[in-house]
Amino acid sequence: MMTYLPGDAFHPIPIFEDRDFWAYCAKQELRFQACAACGALRHPPTPVCWNCHSTAVEWRLAPTRAVVFSFTIVHHAADDRIRDSLPYVVIVAEFPDYGPVKLVSNLLADPSMVHIGMIVELIWEPAADGMFLPRFVRVGKGDPEAGAGQW
């Protein structure tokens, strides 16, 4: 499997609000927090619903496909451990039918191929301490859904 960054470079350090998110990621499940009272989805996780202010939460399994909402191509290494990974692509992945939920992640693809509206597929990259990180790859050229970004 192609890796995005060296495995020892960076890994999440879960905090109270996002520990369940990372626990699901360790099981290779991308789940987003939803309000158990009104159903509003949110990410990153928060202790209180933005819509109704309830503290009751549930976790909903996310789709495996997303759309590139925005992106940047990184050409400068902020840390020497990632210098050999340049250039790399950081995307904001949007999940249709998931309201305001978006996920900042990485696209493992030729930087010249990325574009807003591109359909991407979730994959899991092993990281330190048994963690898995959600990453994305371009949906293959032979896939009819890979067209002009139509869902």
pLDDT above 60 for 144: no
What average pLDDT does this structure show over 31-36? 97
What average pLDDT does this structure show over 130-141? 89
What average pLDDT does this structure show over 7-25? 80
Provide the CATH number for the domain formed by 63-141 in this structure: 2.40.50
Give the integer Cα–Cα distance in Å for 111 and 8. Answer: 23
pLDDT per position as a tens digit, 78-120: 888 888 889 999 999 999 988 889 999 999 999 999 999 999 9
Q: What is the pLDDT of residue 56?
A: 97
Q: What is the pLDDT of residue 8?
A: 58
| Structural tokens at position 117 | 């509206």
All structural domains of the chain with their residue ranges: 16-61, 63-141
pLDDT per position as a tens digit, 38-52: 999 999 999 999 999
Model pTM? 0.85
For 105-112, which contacts have Cβ atoms below 8 Å and span 24 or more sequence positions? Answer: 105/133, 105/134, 105/135, 105/136, 106/4, 106/5, 106/135, 106/136, 107/68, 107/71, 107/135, 107/136, 107/137, 107/138, 108/2, 108/4, 108/135, 108/136, 108/137, 109/137, 109/138, 111/73, 111/87
